[in-house]
Amino acid sequence: HIISDNVASTNEHSFQADYTKPIAKGHTLETGLKYILRINSSESEETYDYFDFSKAYPFNPYIRKDTVWNFNNTQDILAGYVSYNANIGKWSMKGGVRYEYTWLDATFNETNKNFSADYDALVPSAIVTYRLTDMNNLKLGYNMRIQRPSIGYLNPYVDRRDPNYISYGNPNLDPENNHNITLTYSSFSAKYNLNAELSYRFVNNANQELRTPQFNCF
């Protein structure tokens, strides 16, 4: 008999400032700063009774155990970016790079499990557009996105509600790096718009669920 109660919450606050400067005809420089504060918390309480066959009568074969697990995770993210836009004849180009630094702190009700980590990421992007005609263009783009692990992936609380499926998170996970490459053809007219896109996506160090079977031998 198992009773498990878990309450989790996520709060996020963002502050951003951007600046755009035309530096010549058809050329623009953009830059900016962004700060994100994420506060994740999780409180779990588990009570379960189980039958211990090693205890014989008149001892009580039922054993009751209560477990309380508190987990708090704070992420401070500071990012700065710069991008350059150019329009030259039939060509349009935009390229930029963003640098991010993340500070992570995790605290538990068992202080020996507390940990902190920090990591940085350089995130590039680029788009090149060629105007075939006034109503048709071809665009090639690349961008990289990072996906930070959610509280469910980070929380090391062991969920035993199903004895055949025990799950827990890994607080040492790093963000995923998602790379996207797209080739797009666009055509416009008074009667219709046509867009055809070919895309390719690959991920570095993806955060995925790992399942490990265990066998009991008698």
Answer yes or no: is pLDDT of 218 > 70.
no
Label residue 108 by pLDDT band (50, 70, 90): confident
The predicted pLDDT at position 27 comes to: 92
Q: Kindly report the backbone phi and psi dihedral angles of residue 192, in degrees, each rounded to the nearest multiple of 5, phi listed first.
A: -155, 160
Query: Given the DSSP bridges, would you call strands 27-51 and 62-88 parallel, antiparallel or unpaired?
Result: antiparallel
What distance in Å separates the CA atoms of residue 32 and residue 141, rounded to the nearest whole number?
22
**Pairwise pLDDT comparison (83 vs 48), residue with the higher score:** 83
Q: What is the pTM of this model?
A: 0.69
The predicted pLDDT at position 158 comes to: 74
Q: Kindly report the backbone phi and psi dihedral angles of residue 111, in degrees, each rounded to the nearest multiple of 5, phi listed first.
A: -65, -20
Chain centroid to CA 19: 27
**Pairwise pLDDT comparison (118 vs 47), residue with the higher score:** 118
Share of the chain above pLDDT 70, in %: 81
What distance in Å separates the CA atoms of residue 136 and residue 40, rounded to the nearest whole number?
47
Share of the chain above pLDDT 90, in %: 37
Contact 167, 180 (CB under 8 A): no
